[in-house]
Amino acid sequence: MKKRVTWPLCAAIVCAAAGAAHAQTNVTLYGRVASGIDYQNNVAPTATSPGGSLWRAADNQWGTSMFGFMGKEDLGGGLQAVFRLESGFGAAQGKTNGDALFNRRSYVGLSSPTWGTLTAGKNLFISNDVWFLDPTGQQFIGSATLVRGRNWQGANNIVEYQSPTWGG
């Protein structure tokens, strides 16, 4: 009677393939929670509140609370597929900022050390790329100080090309 050893062999092949696929893919989960406590005095009375002072949890106290996924897949020859999905939310109530789940960024693209990176989808405004030119780390000319309070707006249907580093 012949015995077949198909299950262990199949399991070994699947594990080896999963390991090879895992070695080529890089997915990162990132985020931050920006929350704090607000205190207000001289609050006017309303139908539901006697007025006076108010303590409450507050959202986005020095930045936007957000979470996201970004990753890349090696396609061979130095070419990589890239993606980013990012959502802003209010930490005090758990609501997303806007109607879409990935309301800050959601793009896909291709990246190469020789040709640069081409992405398409929802991304931050191109004016945010001024940061890369600011040797003082956004202290004087970076987009963070050009227009205060703009909450790092983005736009849909952006196609962006970033060149590779040329000459150092």
The answer, yes or no, to whether residue 148 has pLDDT greater than 50, is no
State the average pLDDT for the chain.
76
Checking if the pLDDT of 3 tops 80, the result is no
pLDDT reading at 74 higher than 60 = yes
pLDDT at residue number 106: 94
Residue 162 vs residue 146, higher pLDDT: 162
Q: What are phi and psi of 63, to 5 degrees?
A: 135, 175
How confident is the model at residue 161, as a pLDDT? 92
Per-residue pLDDT band for 33 (boundaries 50, 70, 90) equals confident
Task: Please compute the mean of the pLDDT values over residues 59-76 and round it to a whole number.
Answer: 86
Query: Average pLDDT for residues 44-50, to the nearest whole number?
Result: 85
At 153, give phi and psi (nearest 5°).
-65, 155
Q: Which residues of 91-124 are buried (b: 16+ CB within 10 A; e: fewer)?
A: bbeeeebeeeebbbbbbebbbeeeeebebebbbb
What's the pLDDT at 121? 95
**pLDDT grade, residue 153 (50/70/90)?**
low
Angle subtended at Cα 56 by Cα 93 and Cα 47, rounded to the nearest 5 degrees: 95
Q: Is it the case that residue 142 has pLDDT exceeding 50?
A: no
pLDDT band at 7 (very low <50, low <70, confident <90, very high): very low
Which helix (H) or strand (E) covers residue 75, if one does? strand 65-76
